[in-house]
Structure formats: C-alpha cells, structure tokens
C-alpha cells in the first residue's frame, strides 16, 4: 500500500509549536541582564601613596590604615565590585594631599580622595555636589578606622542596616547600592562621560559584531523542534 505523505496542514501544529518555543528561547538567551549594574560608593586602597588604586578587601569600618596611607571613595554605577568598579579620578598621592599637614604625636594622617562621580551615575533628581574629586587630610587617632577618618572630614555619612556605606557628605540623599533594573536607568547609567577613561571593548562571541549567542540558540532550537515535529507527524501518518 502506498504511504500517504503528511500534508502541510498536518505539520502546521508541530511547526508552530517549534517556532514559538524557539523564539522564546532566543529572547531569554539574548535578553540583557538589566539588573547586573549597581549604584554605590566603592572603597579603594591607595597604599602609601604610590599613585595607583586597588579595590579594598575590607570595608571602611574594618580597615585601619597606617599613618601615611591613602584611601579612596568613588560613587558610580558599576557592573560589579573589584576590577569593573570605577576608580577615583585623582591620584593616590599622600604628599599632595597631606604634605601641608604636619605630623602630631598621638595621631596619624590619612589622605582621602572622595569622588562624587559624574551626573550620568547620579540617582534621579540628584547630581554630584561638586564636579571633580575632593581631597582631604584626616588627622585621627592611631587606631582609627577608614570610616572614622572619613567621618572627620566628610559628614554626614549614611549607612544602611547591613553597615553598607550609602552616602558621603549627604550624597546621595536616598538609595543604597540599588540595582539598575529599568532600561531607562541602564541607558542613562551607560551614557559616556567625556572626562572618563574609555571602557574596555567587550570580548567573546557575543560582542555585538555578529549574531548573538541567544539568537543562534533560538535558531538551533527552532530547527531541532521542527525536525522532531515532522518525524512525529510522519510516524502517525504511516
């Protein structure tokens, strides 16, 4: 007996299901991670004034800088902590900041760089209180923490219930390490600042120079599911 081939109408449900699932997979894989950036004060260690910054491994309330140290704070929208976070835009130069402050017995000098960031990183309705970084020489007790040194020159400070530093010199007035979750905030946060160093170019197969990984995954899913639908329809038609 001659086998009857499945008609296009018979294959339509299987193909429609395959296309729908494939498109859903493509959207999920290719969609941007809108909550992958955070707006917060980052804390940096400038060591003994060598001019370079490294991301601090402890919070300012635990760090106890030695006499002659440089500590930095930067408010910015960053993808994560560490290498991706924005550094203070002034050099970690102890002599330039504390050179005019004489040493005193029973105290230590800690040079501070406080960078309020750029307007593009400010919360809605606010802006940095000054355009460039602020520097100050804190002369505090030998056992004082970086937070205590900061409080001596840049009050008021604001912390949340988890002891996260939320505001320096009252900025920002609201918010504390919140994720940037809306497309409008993400676009606003990514507005380039002409004074800032250019961000590194993205690397990898999903760098924007060709089809995204999500799109290719969706196409592959469509093809696989469509083939499965055709095979199943042919089995039923036998």
Domain ranges for the chain: 1-35+182-190+212-238, 38-178
* DSSP SS3 for 54: strand
**Residue with the two structure tokens 């296009």:** 8
- CA torsion angle 28 214 37 131 (round to 10): -130
Winning range, highest mean pLDDT, from 82-91, 107-116, 181-190, 193-202: 107-116
pLDDT digits (tens, 9 = 90+) for 4-46: 554 544 444 444 444 343 443 343 333 444 446 899 999 999 9
pLDDT at 181: 67
Confidence of residue 231 (pLDDT cuts 50, 70, 90): very low
User: Which contacts qualify for 64-67: CB closer than 8 Å, 24 or more apart?
Assistant: 64/143, 64/144, 64/145, 64/146, 65/108, 65/110, 65/146, 65/149, 66/108, 67/103, 67/108, 67/109, 67/110, 67/142
For residue 82, whether the previous peptide bond is cis, meaning omega lies within 30 degrees of 0, is no
Say what the pTM is.
Answer: 0.63
DSSP 8-state symbol, 185: H
């Amino acid at each position: 007996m001659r086998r009857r081939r499945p008609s296009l109408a018979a294959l339509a449900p299987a193909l429609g299901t395959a296309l729908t699932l494939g498109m859903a997979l493509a959207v999920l894989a290719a969609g941007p991670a809108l909550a992958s950036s955070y707006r917060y004060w980052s804390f940096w260690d400038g060591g003994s004034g060598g001019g370079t910054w490294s991301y601090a491994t402890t919070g300012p309330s635990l760090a106890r800088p030695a006499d002659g140290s440089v500590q930095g704070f930067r408010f910015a929208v960053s993808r994560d902590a560490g290498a991706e976070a924005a550094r203070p835009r002034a050099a970690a130069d102890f002599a330039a900041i504390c050179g005019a402050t004489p040493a005193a017995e029973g105290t230590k000098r800690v040079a501070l760089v406080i960078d309020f960031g750029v307007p593009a990183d400010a919360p809605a309705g606010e802006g940095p209180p000054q355009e460039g970084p602020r520097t100050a020489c804190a002369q505090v007790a030998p056992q004082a923490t970086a937070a205590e040194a900061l409080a001596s020159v840049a009050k008021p400070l604001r912390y949340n219930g988890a002891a996260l530093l939320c505001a320096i010199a009252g900025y920002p007035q609201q918010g504390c390490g919140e994720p940037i979750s809306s497309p409008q905030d993400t676009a606003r946060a990514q507005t380039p600042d002409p004074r800032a160093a250019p961000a590194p170019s993205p690397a990898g197969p999903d760098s924007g120079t060709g089809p995204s990984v999500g799109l290719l995954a969706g196409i592959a899913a469509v093809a696989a599911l469509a083939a499965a639908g055709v095979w199943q329809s042919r089995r039923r038609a036998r």
